[in-house]
Structure 1
Amino acid sequence: MKITFLTHSTCMLEIHGFFLLIDPFFSENPIIKNNPLLWNKYIRNFGNFERIDYILLTHAHYDHVCDVEFFAKKFDSLIISNYEISNYFDQKKRLKTYGMNYGSFISFPFGKLKYIWAAHSSVFNDGSYGGNPGGFLFHTDEGNIYLSGDTSLTYEMSLIPKFGKLKMAVLPIGGVYTMDVEEAILASNFLGCDKILGVHYNTFDSIQIDQKKAEKKFLENEKELFLLKIGEVISIYDDKIDLKTT
């Protein structure tokens, strides 16, 4: 399993040869818009992706869905999200979707997927209802990971390891709209997971963090916080996690 950090909360997961794009946010992203090289790569050249089999959406805020149509049409991807977001892209955009809600695991070719509670909000820029925000729990032969989406700290996170041990959790750490660093450490305790990929920070002025201090706080709690540059990849194996720059 590989996780490529792309920007903000946008990642690409590679599981069993399938490519899953999470919460695509490029065209309205200030980091991308202000960098001609990144703009050309992700907007003009579709990120140089050869394929995107699935697009997973945690909620309807623009910084998680603004480029769904762009990539879904190019790659004929299946959009997976909550029932309301799926209906929105099906009925208004005529895209392929699979709607789910808080419930059982659902089997896909890459593994089993469960939609998990998130304490946040969810509405499209045009005012359309975005359903209940959530995260995704992946159970695969290559390992289990939890991608929380935008959320505050919730005690429900303590239920997640009861389904199976996690190899990694992807958590927001920027504060203001989501958990901050201290709360993410508490979340990792609930999750029983000591390896955290931090997302949703430094994209906007309101969610700036001190990365060195954040990493130090995690180390002080005997945990490892991964803060990746755009394009860096985490490879998850049976007994280790490797980090490399592409």
Structure 2
Amino acid sequence: MEITYYGQSCFLFKIGDHRVLFDPFISPNELAADIDVDSIKADFILLSHGHQDHVHDAEQIAKNNNATIIAIHEIATWFGNKGVEKTHPMNIGGKVTLPFGTVKMVTAVHSSSLPDGSNGGVAAGFVVETEEGTFYFAGDTALTYDMKLIPEQFDLDFALMPIGDNFTMDIHDALIASDFVQVDKFIAMHYDTFPYIKIDQEEVKEVAKMANKELILMEIGQSINL
């Protein structure tokens, strides 16, 4: 599958003929100034929680593409009330079968509210199982023992983990999380966008190398195949 990074926690997955976008926060992100939001094509938009740095461009991209927003019930309803025609509400532990595979909503330990202060339900992560591979999108989360349940149900090929600290896990907790979910390869997210989450990239690479983990730090606009 092809993965394109748009900054913060926003990734576009091309899975077969389908395009699956996670947590679009692009237009306010100075680091993503070269990305044209209107050029992004998506069939499905998965939102881990309601904070602005994860949902800011979701409405625009959904309406541009007639895409389906998949999120916890409160967030899906909020976007429906804003005129997004296609939404799919979920809740923790639920699973849905979609044209590209299955999506299970799993625990994330984090807060959630929407940009206007509306109730954002609770934060979540996703396990996505497809014919091209299975991966875990952790969302914004602390390290939690609930992660140990994931490999009891899924054989993951890789994960996407926050490493910016302050609001989420840091690299050290992310490495423990990678052991919990039993992956040796993970893509970093939720770092460098704001002063609170600035990291030393060379340091985190070295920490991951010492732990015998493959840490992938993507450039904004970069695409890779996994």
Does TM-score exceed 0.5, indicating one fold?
yes
Question: Aligned to 2:28, what secondary structure does the other structure show?
Answer: coil
Partner of 2:23: 23
Partner of 2:168: 178
**Cα distance in 1, alignment partners of residues 74 and 117 from structure 2:** 13
Partner of 2:43: 53
**Any stretches of 5+ residues in structure 1 without a counterpart?**
237-246
- Which one-letter code corresponds to 1:189 in the other structure? D
**Cα distance in 1, alignment partners of residues 86 and 72 from structure 2:** 13
CA contact 2:72–2:91 (8 Å) conserved in 1: yes
Q: Please state how far the C-alpha of 1:4 moved relative to its aligned partner.
A: 1.1
Partner of 1:74: 64
Which of 196, 199, 204 is matched with 2:194 structurally? 204
CA-to-aligned-CA distance 1:18-67 (integer Å, 9 cap, x gap): 001111111222323xx4xx1xx424xx1x33x31011100000000111
Q: Please state how far the C-alpha of 1:192 moved relative to its aligned partner.
A: 0.5
Q: Does 1:93 align with 2:86?
A: no
- Which one-letter code corresponds to 1:139 in the other structure? E
- Which one-letter code corresponds to 2:11 in the other structure? C
- Which one-letter code corresponds to 1:42 in the other structure? D
**Cα distance in 2, alignment partners of residues 231 and 163 from structure 1:** 33
CA contact 2:6–2:26 (8 Å) conserved in 1: no
**Cα distance in 2, alignment partners of residues 221 and 100 from structure 1:** 35
What is the total number of aligned residue pairs between the two structures?
A: 226
Partner of 2:36: 42
Partner of 1:5: 5
- Which one-letter code corresponds to 2:74 in the other structure? E
Question: Aligned to 1:7, what secondary structure does the other structure show?
Answer: coil
**Any stretches of 5+ residues in structure 2 without a counterpart?**
none
Give runs of aligned pairs for residues 220-235 of structure 1, distance below 5 A: 220-235=210-225
Q: Please state how far the C-alpha of 1:135 moved relative to its aligned partner.
A: 0.8
TM-score, structure 1 length as denominator? 0.89
Give runs of aligned pairs for residues 73-152 of structure 1, distance below 5 A: 73-152=63-142
Q: Does 1:64 align with 2:58?
A: no
CA contact 2:46–2:71 (8 Å) conserved in 1: yes
Question: Aligned to 1:52, what secondary structure does the other structure show?
Answer: coil
Q: Does 1:14 align with 2:8?
A: no
TM-score, structure 2 length as denominator? 0.97
Question: Aligned to 1:127, what secondary structure does the other structure show?
Answer: coil
CA contact 2:62–2:69 (8 Å) conserved in 1: yes
Q: Please state how far the C-alpha of 1:204 moved relative to its aligned partner.
A: 0.5
- Which one-letter code corresponds to 2:17 in the other structure? G
CA-to-aligned-CA distance 1:164-194 (integer Å, 9 cap, x gap): 2111100000000000010000000101101
**Cα distance in 2, alignment partners of residues 53 and 22 from structure 1:** 11
CA contact 2:63–2:84 (8 Å) conserved in 1: no
- Which one-letter code corresponds to 2:125 in the other structure? G
Q: Please state how far the C-alpha of 1:92 moved relative to its aligned partner.
A: 3.1
Q: Please state how far the C-alpha of 1:234 moved relative to its aligned partner.
A: 2.5
Q: Does 1:159 align with 2:149?
A: yes
Identity %: 41
